[in-house]
């Protein structure tokens, strides 16, 4: 198997104390018009900044919302994964994009709106925004990316880095296998669906699996979650997972991480965990925190959960 060589990346060219101003190039909704959720694809024009050519797919940028929090202090930076490849959105190095869900929550009969996500979602082309970054030094494609197969697990906006990575891989002649397993509540929440359907029809090694959690149940009554595909699509996934040159990337809700770990353990796919550590004999008896304390990702497993 080829050695996994992670690229050297630039970190924190801009910091919360020394932000950079970008402008909004485009901001459009990517959830279907009948969805009660609002997810947007937002592209920043970073022309003239030191971010040009220095943001790698898998990395994040920080957004500084204007104004103060309820304690009268300036808002903190919020991190967003970039959804554009290394070459920039649409191949333009002066543009980088991200994928943002408006956070709306009701608590004690009041509606709470996420500060940064709603600020970003409301911005119009030409508006200015303060950015930091880039950040993230491990959740990256290897430099020798075309030597590996990939299984990408995403829920919701966790798809952002995979939009970038899939574009990156196929732009550089990738011809091994890549599976994207995407989870969301309803079909109306599928993100970048038509583009992904196209990639699947054009690239024989690409598979796009959808886990729709709230429309129907699996035969045993459980929800269709990304990790249940490891069982339900075993004939596709297991042979790939057994190959020593397959890498797993996980991005999205924290809960899926231990769900995936439990499935990998059940199928005795131990190569994704750090060798030399005892593996749990009965993972079902451990809670999520205990499981994550025992298992550390090997070099073939990349995790970004929140």
Question: Which residues are near ligand A2P by CB under 6 A?
Answer: 155-156, 183-185, 189, 213-214, 223, 225-227, 253, 255-256, 259
- Distances in Å between the Cα of 133 and the Cα atoms of 87, 151, 291 are 17, 27, 32
Minimum distance between the CB of residue 107 and ligand A2P, rounded to whole angstroms?
Answer: 17
**Based on CB atoms, which residue is closest to ligand A2P, 30 or 82?**
30
Minimum distance between the CB of residue 286 and ligand A2P, rounded to whole angstroms?
Answer: 15
**Based on CB atoms, which residue is closest to ligand A2P, 99 or 132?**
99
Minimum distance between the CB of residue 218 and ligand A2P, rounded to whole angstroms?
Answer: 13
173, two tokens: 């002649």
**Based on CB atoms, which residue is closest to ligand A2P, 128 or 234?**
234
- Distances in Å between the Cα of 5 and the Cα atoms of 75, 88, 138, 303 are 37, 22, 11, 17
**Based on CB atoms, which residue is closest to ligand A2P, 138 or 306?**
306
Minimum distance between the CB of residue 209 and ligand A2P, rounded to whole angstroms?
Answer: 13
Q: Are 100 and 40 in contact (CB under 8 A)?
A: yes
**Based on CB atoms, which residue is closest to ligand A2P, 119 or 225?**
225
Q: Read off φ and ψ for residue 150, nearest 5 degrees.
A: -130, 140
DSSP state letter for 131:
E
Minimum distance between the CB of residue 117 and ligand A2P, rounded to whole angstroms?
Answer: 12
Q: Would the CA dihedral through 81, 85, 86, 89 be positive or negative? A: negative
Alpha-carbon gap, residue 210 to 75, rounded angstroms: 36
Minimum distance between the CB of residue 158 and ligand A2P, rounded to whole angstroms?
Answer: 7
Residues 6+ apart with CB under 8 A from 37: 31, 101, 102, 188, 189
Q: Read off φ and ψ for residue 173, nearest 5 degrees.
A: 80, 20
Is residue 106 packed enough to be buried (19+ CB in 10 Å), middle (13-18) or exposed (0-12)? exposed
CA angle 136, 142, 145 (to 5 degrees): 140
Minimum distance between the CB of residue 246 and ligand A2P, rounded to whole angstroms?
Answer: 21
Return the bridge partners of 155, or none: 183
**Based on CB atoms, which residue is closest to ligand A2P, 36 or 66?**
36
**Based on CB atoms, which residue is closest to ligand A2P, 64 or 121?**
121
């Amino acid at each position: 198997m080829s050695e996994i060589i992670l690229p050297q990346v630039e970190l924190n060219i801009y910091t919360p104390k020394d932000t950079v101003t970008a402008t909004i190039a485009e901001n459009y909704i990517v959830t279907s018009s009948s969805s009660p959720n609002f997810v947007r694809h937002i592209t920043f024009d970073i022309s003239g900044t030191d971010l040009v050519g220095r943001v790698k797919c898998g990395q994040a940028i920080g957004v500084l919302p204007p104004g103060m929090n309820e304690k009268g202090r300036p808002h903190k930076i919020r991190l967003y994964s970039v959804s554009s490849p290394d070459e920039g959105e649409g191949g333009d190095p002066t543009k980088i994009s991200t994928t943002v869900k408006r956070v709306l929550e009701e608590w004690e009969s009041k509606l709470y709106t996420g500060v940064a996500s709603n600020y970003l979602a409301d911005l119009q082309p030409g508006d200015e925004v303060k950015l930091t970054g880039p950040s993230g030094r491990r959740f990256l494609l290897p430099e020798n990316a075309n030597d590996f197969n990939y299984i990408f697990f995403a829920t919701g906006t966790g798809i952002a880095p995979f939009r970038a990575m899939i574009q990156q891989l196929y732009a550089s002649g990738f011809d091994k296998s890549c599976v994207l397993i995407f989870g969301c509540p309803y079909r109306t929440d599928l993100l970048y669906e038509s583009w992904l359907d196209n990639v699947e029809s054009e690239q024989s090694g690409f598979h796009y699996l959808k886990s729709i959690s709230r429309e129907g149940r699996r035969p045993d009554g459980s929800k269709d979650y990304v990790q249940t595909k490891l069982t339900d699509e075993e004939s596709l996934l297991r042979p790939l997972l057994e190959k020593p040159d397959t890498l797993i990337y996980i991005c999205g809700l924290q809960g899926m991480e231990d769900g995936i770990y439990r499935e990998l353990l059940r199928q005795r796919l131990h190569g994704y965990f750090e060798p030399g550590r005892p593996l749990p004999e009965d993972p079902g008896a451990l809670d999520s925190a205990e499981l994550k304390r025992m298992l550390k990702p090997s070099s073939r497993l990349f995790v970004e959960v929140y």
